[in-house]
Structure 1
Amino acid sequence: MKYLKKNSALFLVLITLLGCKSNKTVDQVSTKPNIVFIVVDDLGYSDIGYMQHKPEIQTPNIDKLAKTGMIFTDAYAASPVCSPTRASLVTGKSPAALKLTCHIPGMGMEKYLKKLSKGKKLKEAHFLNHLPEDELTIAEVLKTQGYSTGYIGKWHLGGDGSIYTEDGIVDEKFNPNHFGFDVNIGGCAYGQPASYFSPYKNGTMTDGPKGEYLTDRLGDEAVRFIENNKEKPFFLNLATYTVHTPLGAPAENIKKYEGNKYFAMIEKLDENVGKVMATLESLNLLENTIVMFYSDNGGLWGNAPLKGIKGTLNEGGIRVPLIVNWANKVPAGSTCNKPVTSVDFFPTMLELAKLSPENYKGLEGMSFLPLALGKTEVADRPLYWHFPHHRKEGLSMGAAIRYGKWKYIVEFESEKEFLYNLENDLGEETNLMQRFPEKGLELSQKLKQWQSDVSAEMPELNL
C-alpha cells in the first residue's frame, strides 16, 4: 500500500500479502459468533496511529486491533455525512433508496433547507428526517436468531430539531429500541451530544457523576452489555459520539496534546476500544467474537493522502477506516484492498448468522466475510453515492461512482464532471475526463441507471 509509510513495520507486513489471504473458509466460522460493531463519528481516514500520517496521534489499542486483524484500505461510507451512512448500515440499503440522503438537521428541517438553498441555482433535494418504521434492520433479523442486541451511543435517525429539545428525543418511536435493539443507551435524535460531560441532557441514558466523560461512559456501558450477555450470542453496536464537534476531552488529555482537543478525543476513543477488547479477552470470548471498527464518514481535520473532508464526494469525505478482527479466523496483520461500503455490513452479518441475503428484499451490498477470511475471487463491482445537498466543505451537491480503479463524479450545481484513476492518483489531482471521455460516459450512464433503479430524489431549480 503505497500510501502507508514504507518505514512502518505494518507496511512490511502488508506488502507480503496478496489480496486477502487466509487458510480459513466461510464454513469454518462459528455457528453464532458474537458481533461487536464499533462505529466512530467523523474519524478521518488517516486519524489512527498505524496510518502514520499524524505522528502525534496515539492509538495503541486500535493499532493492536489492526495488527491482529485485517485492514480494509478501500472501505467507504455510503455518504459523506452521518445520518445516511447510519441508516444504510442498519438496513443494507443505500441512502438514495431510503430517501435519507443528508444528515438530519438539529436546527429543524425547514430552517435547514432554506439556509442551505439560499443563493444556489439548485435547491436541496427532498430527504426524510427519520428512519422509516417499516424498514427491517439487522438488529431485528439477528434477534430472530437468538441474539441479544444492544445499541450504545449516537443514533441520529430520530427526527429533526433536536437542539430545541431538553433531552434529544424528538419522537421516541424512532429510537433504536423500536428497531430491534433490546438495549438503547444514548441513541436518540442528537447528531452531536449536548455535552461531552455529565449531565448529558440525553433522555435515553441516566446522568453519571458530574464531570463524567461521555466516551468513557459509553465504553463502560459496552463492557456491561458484554458481561450481561456473555452466555448467549450478542450483537453490540457501539456508536461513539466521539470525535464529532463540539470538541471536548478531559483536561489531562488535552494537556498531554498541548491543547489539541481532537487528538485528546482520539486517545479517549482508543482507551475505550481497549476496554472492550480487554473485556472480551477476560471472558474468553475473542475466538467467538468478530469485531469491526469503522467510521461513518470522512474526518473534518484533513485526511492525508486523500483530497477533501467530511461533506465532500472526494475520497477524503467518503473513504474511511475499517478493521475486521476475529481471533484465529481473520489472519493477523493482513490487508485487503477490495472496495467495500456501508450497504455491505447487513449481508456480512447475515452470513455470520448463517442466513441467506436472498430472503431479504432491497439489499444492495455483498458480504465481505469471504474477503475477511481470505478469499480473493471477488470481481469488481460499482459503488455509488448520491448526495444532492450543498455543503461548504467542498465538492458536494452531486453523485459519484467507483468501479475498479476508476471514479467518476458529477457536480449537479455546476454540471462539472470529474474522472480519476485512483490506482495512480489517490489524491484526485488530475481530472481525466477530456483524456478518457468514453470511460467517463460509461460510468455516467451506470450512475444514471442506478439512480433510476433506486428512484433517487433529484434537486430542483431554486426558483
Structure 2
Amino acid sequence: MKTLFILFFSIPLLSACSGGASKINGHPNIVYILADDMGYGDVSCFNENSQIHTTHMDRLADQGMIFTDAHSNSAVCTPTRYGVLTGRYAWRTRLKDGVLWSYDEHLIAPERMTVASLLKKKRYRTACIGKWHLGLDWEKDEEGRTLLTRPIKNGPNANGFDYFYGITASLDIPPYLYIENDRVTTVNIDTVEATSGKGFWRKGPIGDDFKHIEVLPRLTDKAVGFINTQSKQAEPFFLYFPLPAPHTPILPTNEFRGKSGTNTYGDFVLMVDDVVGQVMAALDQNGIKDNTLIIVTSDNGCSPLADYNELAEFGHDPSYIFRGHKADIFEGGHRVPFIARWPAKITAGSETDEIICLTDLMATCAAIVGVDLPDNAGEDSYNMLPVLMGEKIAHPIREATVHHSVNGSFSIRQGKWKLEFCPGSGGWSPPTPEVARQENLPPIQLYNLVEDIGETNNLTQQNQQIVENLTALMKKYISDGRSTPGSAQKNEGETPLMMD
C-alpha cells in the first residue's frame, strides 16, 4: 500500500550562520516520509507525460538526486513497512503473503533491532507519526472481545519510538481511532457504516474525534510540530512519517478538489505533494535545510482503485511505462519514485539508475552514525550512502534484489535480468494467479529489463543458464536467512519458492 517516504539527514554545522542547532553528537536529523499507494508515474519529475504536476517533489528533485530504479521490498503495505524499519524482507516472518489487519498481533519481534532503536541508542529523539500497519497487541476480555480503550502493547513505543501519534493501519481498515503512544485519544466510540467508490472504507468502530477527511492534515500538523520542536533541541531526531495517502479512501480536501485536472485521485496526489511542501517549509523556517537530507519515495505501486481507465482519459498512467500496479510482481507493483536532496553533499539535478531497495534504510543509517550492524539485524539492507555521495563504485551496491507480490510470489533482480517465480502477475492485474493457472501459462518468467521494460517477452527458454543461476541465488537467500554478507540466520516457518 505504498505509501511515499522522505528521509532527512542533517550534517553538523561549523557555525550557527545557517540557523541549524548544533547536535550534541554531531549526527544528522532523519525524517522519513512514506506515501501510501503512490505510483512511479504520479510524480511528474519521473514521468514526462504526467498530467499530475507535483511541484514540491519536482523542486526537491531539481535540488537533489532522483533514483530511477528504486524498489519497495513488497508490492503491498505491511511487508514494505516491516522492511523499511528492520532492513529485513518481511517474508522471513510469519507473514508470507498479504497484509496485517488492525486486530492482528505485532509483526516486529520485541528483540529485533529497528531503525528507531538503532538511532535511539545514539541519543536520537525518535517519533512515528502516521500509519503503523505492523500489528498491535490489543487487550481482550475473557470472551475475546477487543478492549479498545485499554493500553496497547508492542506498538511503536516498543520498537524504539519515544513518541507515537497515528492510526492502526490503512485509513479504510477499522478501528478508526487516533492513538497517542499506547492509548487511543477518544473515550466515546461509535460505529461508522461502510462507504464505496474512491472514498471507500469498511464498517467499524470510530472515535468521536475522528473524521477520515481530517486525518492527513492532522498528521501533517503533528509532524511539522515535531520538527519545529525538535529542531531547537541539542539531540538529533528521527521522524518516521508514513502517510495514509493517496491510499483509499481518496479524500482530497476542498482546497485540492479539481486542482489536478484529472480525477479525485490526481487531486489527492497533489495533496500529498503539498504535505511534502509543508515539511520542506518547516526545514527552511527552522534553518536546517542545508544540513538535511530529504528522501521521498512510496511503499508500492498505485492501486487500481485510483481508476486507471478514468486517468487514461486524461492521458495519465500512474505506472508510467511499467507493467502492472500495486500487488503485482511486475515492475508497476514495486518500482517506486525516490528523490534525495542534501545540499551539502548531493549534486543538484543529478540522476542515478543504481538499483536500491527500501530495506536499505537500516544499513544507511548505521553507516551515518558509525555503527556496525550485528549479524541478526538488517539482513537484507545495503548501505546506499556511496551512491548518495556521488562516489564512483566498482560494482552495484546490491548483489541482487528480491521482490514479493500480494499472494506471496517471488522474483529476483540482478542487473538487467529479472526472474519471476510465478506464471502471471502474482497480484491483481491480468493474468491473475487463478487465470494464469487456468491458461497453463509458463510457471516462471525471465525478462531483460534493458530491452523489454514492459515485461512482455519471456526469455526462459533462450537463457536456461541465467534461470539456473538466479534460481540458485534465490534459494540461497531463503536458506541463509539473509541476502547480505554475514552468518546465516533463521526465517520463521517454511518459505516455499514457488506457490502451489
TM-score normalised by L of structure 1: 0.79
Uncovered stretches (5+) of structure 2, i.e. residues with no partner? 1-10, 15-24, 139-143, 186-207, 305-317, 424-432, 482-490
Q: Secondary structure at the match of 2:66?
A: strand
Aligned-pair CA distance for 1:435 = 1.4
AA aligned to 2:401 is: L
* 1:382 corresponds to which of 389, 392, 400: 400
- 1:340-351 superposed matches below 5 A: 340-351=356-367
Aligned to 2:171: 192
Uncovered stretches (5+) of structure 1, i.e. residues with no partner? 1-24, 110-127, 391-396
- 1:300-449 superposed matches below 5 A: 300-301=303-304, 302-358=318-374, 361=377, 363-380=379-396, 381-387=399-405, 390=407, 397-411=408-422, 414=437, 416-449=443-476
Aligned to 2:33: 38
AA aligned to 2:170 is: G
Report if aligned partners of 2:177, 2:210 keep a CA contact under 8 Å in 1: no
> For residues 442 and 323 of structure 1, what CA distance do their matches in structure 2 show?
32
Aligned-pair CA distance for 1:166 = 9.0
Report if aligned partners of 2:106, 2:154 keep a CA contact under 8 Å in 1: no
Aligned to 2:495: 458
Aligned-pair CA distance for 1:404 = 0.9
> For residues 246 and 261 of structure 2, what CA distance do their matches in structure 1 show?
18
AA aligned to 2:109 is: P
Report if aligned partners of 1:69, 1:325 keep a CA contact under 8 Å in 2: yes
> For residues 466 and 498 of structure 2, what CA distance do their matches in structure 1 show?
29
Report if aligned partners of 1:40, 1:296 keep a CA contact under 8 Å in 2: yes
Aligned to 2:141: none
Distance change >3 Å, CA 160–CA 54, structure 1 → 2: farther
AA aligned to 2:223 is: A
Aligned to 2:153: 173
| RMSD after superposition | 3.3
Distance change >3 Å, CA 383–CA 459, structure 1 → 2: closer
> For residues 306 and 353 of structure 1, what CA distance do their matches in structure 2 show?
36
AA aligned to 1:273 is: V
Aligned-pair CA distance for 1:272 = 1.2
Report if aligned partners of 1:95, 1:386 keep a CA contact under 8 Å in 2: no
- 1:143-154 superposed matches below 5 A: 143-154=120-131
Distance change >3 Å, CA 433–CA 256, structure 1 → 2: same
Aligned-pair CA distance for 1:354 = 2.1
- 1:27-426 superposed matches below 5 A: 31-106=26-101, 130-159=107-136, 172-188=152-168, 190-193=169-172, 201-204=177-180, 206=185, 213-230=214-231, 231=233, 232-257=235-260, 260-301=263-304, 302-358=318-374, 361=377, 363-380=379-396, 381-387=399-405, 390=407, 397-411=408-422, 414=437, 416-426=443-453
CA deviation vs aligned residue, 1:120-150 (integer Å, no higher than 9, x gap):
xxxxxxxx86222222111011111111111
Report if aligned partners of 1:151, 1:187 keep a CA contact under 8 Å in 2: no
> For residues 178 and 67 of structure 1, what CA distance do their matches in structure 2 show?
38
AA aligned to 1:138 is: V
AA aligned to 1:41 is: D
Q: Secondary structure at the match of 2:327?
A: coil
> For residues 158 and 463 of structure 2, what CA distance do their matches in structure 1 show?
49
Report if aligned partners of 2:32, 2:295 keep a CA contact under 8 Å in 1: yes
CA deviation vs aligned residue, 1:178-215 (integer Å, no higher than 9, x gap):
11111111043x233569xxx95333375769686222
Q: Secondary structure at the match of 1:237?
A: strand
Aligned-pair CA distance for 1:252 = 4.2
